[in-house]
Amino acid sequence: MRLERREGVSRRALVLAPLAAVGFTLAVSSLLVAWAGAPVGAAYLALLEGGFGSRFAITETLTRATPLILTGLAAAVAFRARLYNIGAEGQLYAGALAAVAVGGLHGGSGFDAPAWLLFPAMMAAAMAAGALLLLGPALLKSRLGVDEVVTTLLLNFVVLLAVSAALDGPMKDPTALGWPQSVAIQDALQLDKLIERSRVHSGLVAALGLAAALALLLRFTTLGFEIRAVGANARAAAFAGMPVARTMVVVALVSGALAGLAGAIEVAGRAGYVTLDMSPGYGMSGIVIAMLAMLNPLGVVAAAVFVAGMLVGADGMSRVVGVPTYIADVIVAVALIAMLVATLFTQYRLRWR
């Protein structure tokens, strides 16, 4: 038995691959639900209703989907160029901390600036922090051949330790009791709510706009063609005269900036300050979302809503049938594995000999 590359990938296969992955994931996860002693049908109904069955459920799903769209886009654009960014979690926290460093300039800081100036400065600082955090691994890969999977993964721990030190030190809110948190950003810098009596904020609109912009960039611009060419075959792209190293740097800056922006939007749209548990794994979930979307920026939106619905719905499922909420994490993890296998079989077929 061996794998043989297909001559071409049909559109039908590209559509069926994610559907087959989701179906396989639900089938495997049903075994875990049954093992937990809960009725599978009732559990999945509670999961669906918890994520999409009411106004509150939908708004919570959209709120959770907002940072996931941005981290999914960060992973998608990087993976398109075969720059495997595993550090979106750290870049998100770096962006959040940079946003608070700018947006928290008030009170006793001695600095007074209008919100119209601080808000873009806050977002720019967050994007710069995320971009610079990925720039180093990208340069190490393009110049020295250092594996970016290792460097970006380890940088997550470095950033989280730095955030912990900042929250216990210079950026700690002196009025906060118990769990350490940063100072809060100004109220004027908070993002507007899109729906009354909900947590859905205008960051969702920004995330959707960035997904559309990235799709257009990859499809219709010279830079987008270079990104796709470098991802397909970097040596062939270099032989054709394309600036491979420069393209890799640009991709790193875009990917890191998107992840950093996710941190800033999470601060300005939901939390208002930084804590160590601000992100329940948004960076790592972005990788799953990018793979479910087959690295398509518009598909990232649908995949992010799906994953967010699973995570939000897991709470409802736990209350109704008593299934542990971590089953949602298992669903997301199995979905990633299933999608990788489904993607493999869109490009290869099994030959028996």
Mean pLDDT throughout 271-282?
88
User: Percent of the chain scored above 70 by pLDDT?
Assistant: 94
Cα gap 117→242, rounded to integer Å: 38
Cα gap 234→13, rounded to integer Å: 26
Neighbours of 202 (CB within 10 A): 16
Does 291 or 216 have the greater pLDDT score?
216
Task: Supply the pLDDT for residue 1.
Answer: 65
| Residue located via tokens 């830079």 | 223
Of 11-15, 66-70, 154-158, 298-302, the range with the lowest mean pLDDT is 11-15
pLDDT tens readout for residues 176-207:
766 788 888 888 889 999 988 889 999 999 99
**Would you give the DSSP letter of residue 142?**
H
Q: Is the pLDDT of residue 159 over 60?
A: yes
Closest Cα partner for 46 from 303, 319, 308?
319
pLDDT tens readout for residues 52-106:
988 999 999 999 999 999 999 999 999 999 999 999 999 999 999 999 999 876 5
Q: Which two tokens stand for residue 184?
A: 């809060």
Neighbours of 234 (CB within 10 A): 18
Does 251 or 335 have the greater pLDDT score?
251
Q: Could you tell me if 338 and 24 are in contact, meaning their C-beta atoms sit under 8 angstroms apart?
A: yes
Of 108-122, 162-176, 266-280, 310-324, the range with the lowest mean pLDDT is 108-122
Residues ≥6 apart with Cβ < 8 Å to 171: 97, 100, 101, 104, 182, 183, 274
